[in-house]
Structure 1
Amino acid sequence: MSKYLLNKFLYTVDRDPELVERYRNDPAGTVTWWEAEVANQLLNCAVPERSTWQSFTDAERKALREHDHVALFELGAHPFLTLTLFIAMFERDHGPLEYQKAYGRALQTHSLPYPDIAT
């Protein structure tokens, strides 16, 4: 499991409005494409460089493909990264703060200590 890669996905998708829409409408295709094309690119690197060893686990892929923020949290994804991306994707389908409240309710079953979100 790579919390870094999971958080990198959430971070990079959230910062690109076209990727947000792509992920909203085709999560499986977006995850497959991102893992093949973006996952091993170094962030904020002026000269394009790539690593070759990073990939999602099956559990991470499943959670990303299903937009399952509870599973992502349990896998160690940072809750702020998940929340901001999912607000961008789903808030428009709900009234004011409805999505954020539902997000919180879905995580109510978790108690301290939360999964480690340090990368």
Structure 2
Amino acid sequence: MSKYLIDKFLYMIDRDPELVERYREDPRGTVTWWEAERANTVLNCHGGEASTWQRFTDEEREALAAHDHVALFSLGAHPFLTLTLFIAMFERDHGPLEYQKAFGARLAHFSMPYPDIAT
């Protein structure tokens, strides 16, 4: 499991409006594409540096493909990265703060200490 890779995915997708729309419309395809093309690039580096070993687990891949923020939180994804991306994708389908409240309500069953979100 790689909390870093999940957080990197959430961060990189959220910073590109075209990728936000792509992920909203085709989550499984976007996850597959990103893992193959971008997962091993160096974050915020445009010089062609890359690694070759980072991959999602099946559980991570499925949670990302299902837009399942509860599963992502359980896996250690940072809640602010998840929330900001999911607001960009889904807030438009809801009334004011309706999506954010539903997002939080789905996480209400977690008690402290929360899953470790350190990377």
Shorter-chain-normalised TM-score: which range? Answer: over 0.9
Q: CA deviation at 1:46?
A: 4.0
2:112 is equivalent to residue 85 of structure 1: no
Match of 1:59 in 2: 59
Q: Which residue of 2 aligns with 1:49?
A: 49
Q: Which runs of 5+ in 1 are unaligned?
A: none
Q: Percent identity?
A: 78
Shift of 1:27: 0.1
TM-score relative to the length of structure 1:
0.99
Shift of 1:5: 0.2
Gaps of 5+ in 2: none
**Secondary structure at the residue paired with 1:55?**
coil
The number of aligned residues is 119
Partner of 1:114: 114
AA aligned opposite 1:99? Y
CA distance in 2, matches of 1:103, 1:117: 17
**Hey, what's the Cα distance between the residues in 2 that align with 1:61 and 1:33?**
11
Per-residue displacement from partner, 1:31-86 (whole Å, max 9, x unpaired)? 00000000000012242111000000000000000000000000000000000000
Map 1:1-119 onto structure 2 (within 5 A): 1-119=1-119
TM-score norm. by structure 2 comes to 0.99
Distance 2:72 2:46 in 1: 30
Q: Distance in 2 between matches of 1:45 and 1:12?
A: 12
The RMSD of aligned alpha carbons is 0.5
Q: Give the Cα separation in 2 of the matches to 1:87 and 1:33.
A: 22
SS of 2:34's equivalent in the other structure is helix
TM-superposed CA distance for 1:26, in Å, is 0.0
Letter in 1 for 2:89: M
